[in-house]
Amino acid sequence: MIPAKIVHFLDRANVGHIGTRDRHLVPHGHTMCGWALAPDGQTLTIMVPEGGREHLIESLEDNGQVAITIEEYPAHEAYQFKGQYVRHRPATQEDAEIAKHIRDNFMTAVLPIAGQVAVHALRSFVQSPVLAVDVDVREVYVQTPGPGAGARLVPGEA
Amino acid sequence: MSARLPNEIRPVLDNGIPAIMVTCSADGVPNTTVISQVYYVDDTHVALSFQFFSKTIRNVRENPRAHVTVNDIRGLTKWLLELEFEHSETEGPIFDAMDMQIEAIASMTGMTGIFKLRAADIYRVISVGKQSYPPHA
Protein backbone atom coordinates (compact mmCIF):
# COMPACT_ATOMS: atom_id res chain seq x y z
CA MET A 1 0.00 0.00 0.00
CA ILE A 2 1.46 3.33 -1.05
CA PRO A 3 1.60 5.73 1.93
CA ALA A 4 -0.46 8.95 2.03
CA LYS A 5 2.67 11.11 1.72
CA ILE A 6 3.40 9.56 -1.68
CA VAL A 7 -0.24 9.76 -2.76
CA HIS A 8 -0.13 13.54 -2.18
CA PHE A 9 3.19 13.74 -4.00
CA LEU A 10 1.72 11.96 -7.04
CA ASP A 11 -0.92 14.67 -7.28
CA ARG A 12 1.58 17.54 -7.42
CA ALA A 13 4.44 15.86 -9.37
CA ASN A 14 5.00 16.95 -12.94
CA VAL A 15 7.53 14.67 -14.72
CA GLY A 16 7.73 10.90 -15.11
CA HIS A 17 9.71 8.29 -16.99
CA ILE A 18 9.42 4.53 -17.46
CA GLY A 19 12.22 1.96 -17.52
CA THR A 20 11.88 -1.58 -18.85
CA ARG A 21 14.29 -4.21 -20.09
CA ASP A 22 14.10 -6.79 -22.84
CA ARG A 23 14.92 -10.52 -22.79
CA HIS A 24 18.61 -9.74 -23.36
CA LEU A 25 18.69 -7.48 -20.25
CA VAL A 26 19.02 -4.38 -22.44
CA PRO A 27 17.31 -1.46 -20.67
CA HIS A 28 14.84 0.80 -22.49
CA GLY A 29 13.50 4.21 -21.51
CA HIS A 30 9.98 5.37 -22.31
CA THR A 31 8.35 8.77 -22.12
CA MET A 32 5.34 9.00 -19.85
CA CYS A 33 2.67 11.71 -19.65
CA GLY A 34 0.44 10.80 -16.73
CA TRP A 35 -0.22 8.54 -13.77
CA ALA A 36 -3.09 7.63 -11.49
CA LEU A 37 -3.23 5.46 -8.39
CA ALA A 38 -6.15 3.01 -8.25
CA PRO A 39 -8.41 2.83 -5.18
CA ASP A 40 -6.55 -0.31 -4.04
CA GLY A 41 -3.56 1.95 -3.29
CA GLN A 42 -1.19 -0.37 -5.10
CA THR A 43 -2.02 -0.34 -8.82
CA LEU A 44 -0.47 2.57 -10.65
CA THR A 45 -1.85 3.34 -14.10
CA ILE A 46 0.76 5.05 -16.26
CA MET A 47 -0.08 6.91 -19.45
CA VAL A 48 2.24 6.67 -22.43
CA PRO A 49 2.36 8.98 -25.48
CA GLU A 50 3.16 7.77 -28.98
CA GLY A 51 6.87 8.48 -28.48
CA GLY A 52 7.10 6.12 -25.50
CA ARG A 53 5.78 2.99 -27.21
CA GLU A 54 8.93 1.57 -28.77
CA HIS A 55 9.95 -1.71 -27.05
CA LEU A 56 7.43 -1.06 -24.26
CA ILE A 57 4.74 -3.69 -24.63
CA GLU A 58 7.07 -6.36 -26.01
CA SER A 59 9.38 -5.91 -23.00
CA LEU A 60 6.49 -5.89 -20.52
CA GLU A 61 4.91 -8.98 -22.05
CA ASP A 62 8.28 -10.73 -22.04
CA ASN A 63 9.18 -10.25 -18.39
CA GLY A 64 6.79 -7.77 -16.72
CA GLN A 65 9.55 -5.83 -14.97
CA VAL A 66 8.99 -2.07 -14.78
CA ALA A 67 10.55 0.88 -12.96
CA ILE A 68 8.99 4.34 -12.92
CA THR A 69 10.58 7.57 -11.73
CA ILE A 70 8.21 10.42 -10.90
CA GLU A 71 9.60 13.83 -9.98
CA GLU A 72 8.42 17.23 -8.91
CA TYR A 73 10.59 19.56 -10.93
CA PRO A 74 12.35 21.88 -10.12
CA ALA A 75 12.12 20.93 -6.42
CA HIS A 76 13.85 17.61 -7.32
CA GLU A 77 11.61 15.59 -5.00
CA ALA A 78 11.50 12.21 -6.69
CA TYR A 79 10.47 8.61 -6.03
CA GLN A 80 10.98 5.40 -7.94
CA PHE A 81 8.20 2.83 -8.18
CA LYS A 82 9.13 -0.74 -9.07
CA GLY A 83 6.58 -3.36 -9.94
CA GLN A 84 5.05 -5.84 -12.28
CA TYR A 85 3.11 -5.25 -15.47
CA VAL A 86 -0.55 -6.21 -15.19
CA ARG A 87 -2.29 -5.14 -18.44
CA HIS A 88 -2.53 -2.35 -20.99
CA ARG A 89 -5.29 -0.73 -23.02
CA PRO A 90 -5.77 2.20 -25.40
CA ALA A 91 -5.87 5.56 -23.63
CA THR A 92 -9.27 7.12 -22.94
CA GLN A 93 -10.52 10.69 -22.62
CA GLU A 94 -10.16 10.31 -18.85
CA ASP A 95 -6.47 9.44 -19.31
CA ALA A 96 -6.09 12.52 -21.53
CA GLU A 97 -7.56 14.64 -18.71
CA ILE A 98 -4.98 13.20 -16.30
CA ALA A 99 -2.20 14.10 -18.75
CA LYS A 100 -3.65 17.61 -18.93
CA HIS A 101 -3.42 17.85 -15.13
CA ILE A 102 0.25 16.81 -15.30
CA ARG A 103 0.84 19.32 -18.12
CA ASP A 104 -0.73 22.08 -16.00
CA ASN A 105 1.47 21.11 -13.02
CA PHE A 106 4.53 21.18 -15.27
CA MET A 107 3.66 24.56 -16.81
CA THR A 108 3.00 26.13 -13.39
CA ALA A 109 6.33 24.88 -12.01
CA VAL A 110 8.62 25.50 -14.96
CA LEU A 111 7.24 28.63 -16.63
CA PRO A 112 8.70 31.00 -14.00
CA ILE A 113 12.16 29.55 -14.77
CA ALA A 114 11.82 29.18 -18.53
CA GLY A 115 9.97 32.40 -19.31
CA GLN A 116 6.98 33.12 -21.52
CA VAL A 117 9.00 32.56 -24.68
CA ALA A 118 8.92 28.84 -23.93
CA VAL A 119 5.17 28.42 -23.33
CA HIS A 120 4.49 26.60 -26.57
CA ALA A 121 7.44 24.22 -26.14
CA LEU A 122 6.69 23.50 -22.49
CA ARG A 123 3.07 22.68 -23.26
CA SER A 124 4.19 20.28 -25.98
CA PHE A 125 6.62 18.51 -23.65
CA VAL A 126 3.75 16.61 -22.01
CA GLN A 127 2.08 14.87 -24.95
CA SER A 128 -1.37 13.26 -24.94
CA PRO A 129 -1.50 9.54 -24.12
CA VAL A 130 -2.13 6.70 -26.55
CA LEU A 131 -1.71 3.84 -24.06
CA ALA A 132 -2.47 3.21 -20.41
CA VAL A 133 -0.52 0.52 -18.55
CA ASP A 134 -1.45 -0.90 -15.15
CA VAL A 135 1.47 -1.72 -12.87
CA ASP A 136 1.27 -3.59 -9.57
CA VAL A 137 3.66 -1.54 -7.42
CA ARG A 138 5.80 -3.74 -5.16
CA GLU A 139 8.48 -1.27 -4.03
CA VAL A 140 8.91 2.50 -3.66
CA TYR A 141 12.32 4.19 -3.23
CA VAL A 142 13.35 7.75 -2.40
CA GLN A 143 15.17 9.38 -5.31
CA THR A 144 15.37 12.95 -4.08
CA PRO A 145 19.08 13.87 -4.35
CA GLY A 146 20.85 13.79 -0.99
CA PRO A 147 21.82 11.44 1.80
CA GLY A 148 18.38 9.74 1.92
CA ALA A 149 18.42 8.81 -1.75
CA GLY A 150 17.98 5.09 -2.33
CA ALA A 151 16.06 4.41 0.90
CA ARG A 152 13.17 2.01 0.46
CA LEU A 153 9.78 3.31 1.60
CA VAL A 154 7.60 0.38 0.48
CA PRO A 155 7.76 -2.20 1.87
CA GLY A 156 9.19 -0.42 4.92
CA GLU A 157 12.69 -1.24 6.07
CA ALA A 158 12.60 -3.96 8.79
CA MET B 1 30.25 -1.33 -32.85
CA SER B 2 29.85 2.35 -31.98
CA ALA B 3 27.49 5.04 -33.21
CA ARG B 4 28.59 8.63 -33.77
CA LEU B 5 27.04 11.51 -31.89
CA PRO B 6 25.94 14.20 -34.37
CA ASN B 7 27.11 17.75 -33.78
CA GLU B 8 23.54 18.94 -33.31
CA ILE B 9 23.29 17.00 -30.03
CA ARG B 10 26.14 18.91 -28.38
CA PRO B 11 24.17 22.02 -27.34
CA VAL B 12 21.38 19.74 -26.07
CA LEU B 13 23.83 17.95 -23.76
CA ASP B 14 24.77 21.36 -22.36
CA ASN B 15 21.23 22.74 -21.91
CA GLY B 16 21.07 22.04 -18.18
CA ILE B 17 17.84 20.04 -18.41
CA PRO B 18 18.09 16.80 -16.40
CA ALA B 19 18.31 13.56 -18.38
CA ILE B 20 16.83 10.18 -17.53
CA MET B 21 18.91 7.03 -17.28
CA VAL B 22 17.66 3.43 -17.28
CA THR B 23 19.86 0.51 -16.25
CA CYS B 24 19.21 -3.14 -15.46
CA SER B 25 20.67 -5.43 -12.81
CA ALA B 26 22.18 -8.80 -13.65
CA ASP B 27 19.03 -10.46 -12.32
CA GLY B 28 16.82 -8.43 -14.66
CA VAL B 29 15.37 -5.59 -12.57
CA PRO B 30 15.30 -2.24 -14.39
CA ASN B 31 16.14 1.00 -12.59
CA THR B 32 15.39 4.57 -13.60
CA THR B 33 17.03 7.71 -12.30
CA VAL B 34 17.36 11.40 -13.07
CA ILE B 35 20.89 12.52 -13.97
CA SER B 36 22.07 16.09 -14.00
CA GLN B 37 24.77 15.85 -16.63
CA VAL B 38 25.65 14.02 -19.86
CA TYR B 39 29.15 15.11 -20.81
CA TYR B 40 30.40 14.92 -24.41
CA VAL B 41 33.79 13.15 -24.45
CA ASP B 42 34.20 12.52 -28.20
CA ASP B 43 31.90 11.55 -31.03
CA THR B 44 31.53 7.97 -29.79
CA HIS B 45 31.68 8.46 -26.01
CA VAL B 46 29.87 10.33 -23.24
CA ALA B 47 30.61 10.56 -19.53
CA LEU B 48 27.97 10.41 -16.82
CA SER B 49 28.53 11.70 -13.34
CA PHE B 50 28.86 9.22 -10.50
CA GLN B 51 27.80 11.25 -7.46
CA PHE B 52 26.24 8.77 -5.06
CA PHE B 53 26.74 5.07 -4.39
CA SER B 54 23.50 4.08 -6.06
CA LYS B 55 21.66 1.21 -7.67
CA THR B 56 22.56 2.72 -11.05
CA ILE B 57 26.28 2.50 -10.29
CA ARG B 58 25.95 -1.10 -9.08
CA ASN B 59 23.87 -2.07 -12.11
CA VAL B 60 26.25 -0.81 -14.79
CA ARG B 61 29.14 -2.59 -13.13
CA GLU B 62 27.30 -5.92 -13.39
CA ASN B 63 25.41 -5.24 -16.66
CA PRO B 64 27.10 -2.45 -18.67
CA ARG B 65 24.13 -1.52 -20.88
CA ALA B 66 22.29 1.76 -20.23
CA HIS B 67 19.66 3.92 -21.91
CA VAL B 68 19.66 7.71 -21.57
CA THR B 69 16.98 10.16 -22.72
CA VAL B 70 18.14 13.74 -23.24
CA ASN B 71 15.49 16.44 -23.60
CA ASP B 72 15.56 19.35 -26.01
CA ILE B 73 12.35 21.01 -24.83
CA ARG B 74 12.61 24.08 -27.07
CA GLY B 75 13.39 21.90 -30.09
CA LEU B 76 10.43 19.55 -29.37
CA THR B 77 12.88 16.67 -29.52
CA LYS B 78 14.16 13.84 -27.36
CA TRP B 79 17.47 12.14 -28.00
CA LEU B 80 17.65 8.46 -27.10
CA LEU B 81 21.11 7.07 -26.41
CA GLU B 82 21.95 3.40 -26.01
CA LEU B 83 25.20 3.18 -24.07
CA GLU B 84 27.70 0.68 -22.73
CA PHE B 85 29.79 1.38 -19.64
CA GLU B 86 33.54 1.19 -20.35
CA HIS B 87 35.45 2.53 -17.36
CA SER B 88 35.52 5.08 -14.56
CA GLU B 89 37.89 8.05 -14.07
CA THR B 90 38.54 9.78 -10.76
CA GLU B 91 41.05 12.33 -12.03
CA GLY B 92 42.15 13.96 -15.26
CA PRO B 93 40.69 16.52 -17.67
CA ILE B 94 37.26 14.86 -18.10
CA PHE B 95 36.81 14.49 -14.35
CA ASP B 96 37.91 18.10 -13.74
CA ALA B 97 35.60 19.51 -16.41
CA MET B 98 32.62 17.52 -15.12
CA ASP B 99 33.40 18.52 -11.55
CA MET B 100 33.27 22.20 -12.54
CA GLN B 101 29.97 21.70 -14.39
CA ILE B 102 28.46 19.80 -11.44
CA GLU B 103 29.37 22.64 -9.08
CA ALA B 104 27.73 25.13 -11.44
CA ILE B 105 24.57 23.01 -11.76
CA ALA B 106 24.45 22.53 -7.98
CA SER B 107 24.74 26.26 -7.43
CA MET B 108 21.96 27.00 -9.96
CA THR B 109 19.59 24.38 -8.53
CA GLY B 110 20.15 24.91 -4.81
CA MET B 111 22.01 21.62 -4.46
CA THR B 112 25.38 22.95 -3.34
CA GLY B 113 26.94 20.48 -0.91
CA ILE B 114 24.65 17.67 -2.13
CA PHE B 115 25.94 17.20 -5.67
CA LYS B 116 29.54 15.97 -5.47
CA LEU B 117 31.38 14.19 -8.23
CA ARG B 118 32.98 10.90 -7.17
CA ALA B 119 33.89 9.69 -10.65
CA ALA B 120 33.33 10.29 -14.33
CA ASP B 121 31.88 7.11 -15.79
CA ILE B 122 32.77 6.74 -19.48
CA TYR B 123 30.28 5.10 -21.81
CA ARG B 124 30.55 4.05 -25.45
CA VAL B 125 27.62 5.15 -27.61
CA ILE B 126 25.94 2.13 -29.21
CA SER B 127 23.08 3.95 -30.93
CA VAL B 128 21.62 7.44 -31.19
CA GLY B 129 17.94 8.09 -31.88
CA LYS B 130 16.25 11.42 -32.46
CA GLN B 131 12.56 11.57 -31.66
CA SER B 132 10.61 14.69 -32.53
CA TYR B 133 7.12 15.23 -31.16
CA PRO B 134 4.35 17.44 -32.48
CA PRO B 135 3.53 20.84 -30.99
CA HIS B 136 0.63 20.63 -28.56
CA ALA B 137 -2.54 22.13 -30.02
Cβ <8 Å between A25 and B28: yes
Tell me how far apart the alpha carbons of residues A146 and A118 are, in angstroms, rounded to a whole number: 30
Tell me how far apart the alpha carbons of residues A107 and A14 are, in angstroms, rounded to a whole number: 9
Region B60-79 average pLDDT: 96
pLDDT in tens, A14-56: 999 999 999 999 999 999 999 999 999 999 999 999 999 999 9
Q: What is the pTM of this model?
A: 0.94
DSSP H or E segment with residue B95: helix B93-109
pLDDT score recorded for residue A57: 98
What domains are defined for chain A?
A: 4-154 (2.30.110.10)
Q: Is the ipTM of this complex over 0.90?
A: yes
Question: CA nearest A29: which of B115, B14, B127?
Answer: B127
CB pairs under 8 A between A and B: 117
Helix/strand/coil for B99: helix
Instruction: Of A69-73, A146-150, B15-19, B49-53, give the lowest mean pLDDT range.
Output: B49-53
Largest CA distance in chain B: 48
Domain at B7-131: CATH architecture: Roll (2.30)
Domain coordinates in residue numbering, chain B:
7-131
- In chain B, the residue whose alpha carbon lies closest to the alpha carbon of A126 is B136
Q: Find chain A residues with C-beta within 8 A of B136's C-beta.
A: 103, 120, 123-124, 126-128
pLDDT score recorded for residue B1: 78
